[in-house]
Amino acid sequence: MKKDFIAISDHSPEELQDILNLAVSLKKEWKLGGNAPILKDKVLAMIFQKPSLRTRVSFDMAMRHLGGDALYLSPAEIGLGKRESIADVARVLSGYVEVIMARVFEHEHILELAKWADIPVINGLSDYNHPCQGMADTLTILEEFGTMKDVNVTFIGDGNNVAVSMLFSCAKLGANFTIASPGGYDLPENVLADARKFAEKSGSKINTLRDVHEAVNEADVLYTDTWTSMGQEEEAQIREKVFQTYQVNASLVAEANKHAIVMHCLPAHRGQEITDEVADGPHSRLFPQAHNRMHAQKAILVHVLGDQKG
Ligand code: CP
Ligand code: NVA
């Protein structure tokens, strides 16, 4: 059966750990001079319904480093579900390339692509989650603390796609996850219910709070994301008011553990969810985290393509 990568919740802790171990070894290999061309002759189609810097460039470079190639398909070119049905796009691409990565508005659209494609489909962000980001974030935390077990991860802000993937990774791998979000912007109940089931097995503790000060107490990782995600632009003004006190600034960081690191999936809205002082300060891991997108995705690509040797 083909392997997709649609949500962290779909994968066992062992499988996630295998992908992360592979990311570590591919990163090491690349740093020592370059990767072996284990994806030679493989082509990735990258479908984007929204803008991207990190996802687009890191997937493209990941394929090139592994000896393969990538095709960028912009919203204007594909018209996914508009010019042509998703089922038809999936079946056509299955005859041309070996793997698809798609960034879509509605999560249903990724599921539809995966249903109809004969080749692996990777979720490059949907309204529901951002699993490639979650894997890069986990790699970043592992590099810092050596383990996910008992690491206190605190997310400040919207219970959005990025928060969902971080939560699932923590719940699967044994990190404690706390979120402070304003009323009406909570993580979805079904996500929390699933995460609590995973947490029972891993020993992770999950907390949902309103108060940022309570949430950062004893935090090892402070994570934040934009107050207004792509597709929510018309809510930006109201969100700016609602999230005003959900800012990761120097005084909030000072309330966390001394060694705490600050993470953000980027793009950052400096002066809103994070200040310049924190984003560019000693606790920040924003850029190593962004760079880890490429290393984590190499491992995801190799995983879904069946670890084929060139
Ligand atoms: N973090 C992230 O997915 O960035 P892009 O939107 O630039 O791809
Ligand atoms: N939550 C953000 C993440 C961007 C990488 C969005 O969906 O726009």
Report the CATH superfamily, name and number, of domain 8-130+293-305: Aspartate/ornithine carbamoyltransferase (3.40.50.1370)
pTM over 0.95: yes
Nearest atom of ligand 2 to the alpha carbon of 232: 8
CA of 57 to the centre of ligand 1 (A): 9
Residue range 201-214: average pLDDT?
A: 98
Nearest CA to ligand 2 atom 1: 229
pLDDT at 128: 98
The pair of three-digit structure tokens given for residue 62, joined into one six-digit string: 């990941």
Is the per-residue pLDDT at 310 higher than 50? no
CA of 129 to the centre of ligand 1 (A): 12
pLDDT at 230: 97
Nearest atom of ligand 1 to the alpha carbon of 266: 1
Nearest atom of ligand 1 to the alpha carbon of 130: 3
Residue range 183-205: average pLDDT?
A: 98
Rounded to whole angstroms, how far apart are CA atoms 252 and 249? 5
CA of 153 to the centre of ligand 1 (A): 21
CA of 201 to the centre of ligand 1 (A): 31
127 is catalytic: no
> Cβ(28)–Cβ(20) under 8 Å?
no
pLDDT at 12: 98
Which ligand minimizes its atom distance to the CA of 230?
A: 2
pLDDT at 79: 85
- Mean pLDDT (the chain) is 97
Question: For residue 267, is the peptide bond before it cis, meaning its omega torsion is within 30 degrees of 0?
Answer: yes
103 is catalytic: yes
pLDDT at 308: 42
Instruction: Please tell me if the domain spanning 8-130+293-305 has the same topology as the one spanning 133-289.
Output: yes
The pair of three-digit structure tokens given for residue 188, joined into one six-digit string: 């979805």
Domain positions in the chain: 8-130+293-305, 133-289
**CATH class of segment(s) 133-289:** alpha beta
Q: What residues does ligand 2 touch, defined as CB less than 6 Å away?
A: 125, 160-162, 225-226, 229-230, 265
3-state SS of the chain: helix, strand, coil percent to 5?
45, 15, 40
130 is catalytic: yes
Nearest atom of ligand 1 to the alpha carbon of 230: 6
pLDDT digits (tens, 9 = 90+) for 134-160: 999 999 999 999 999 999 999 999 999
pLDDT digits (tens, 9 = 90+) for 119-133: 999 999 999 999 999
DSSP E strands: which ranges in the chain?
Answer: 43-48, 69-73, 99-103, 121-123, 152-156, 176-180, 206-209, 221-224, 261-264
Residue range 303-310: average pLDDT?
A: 69
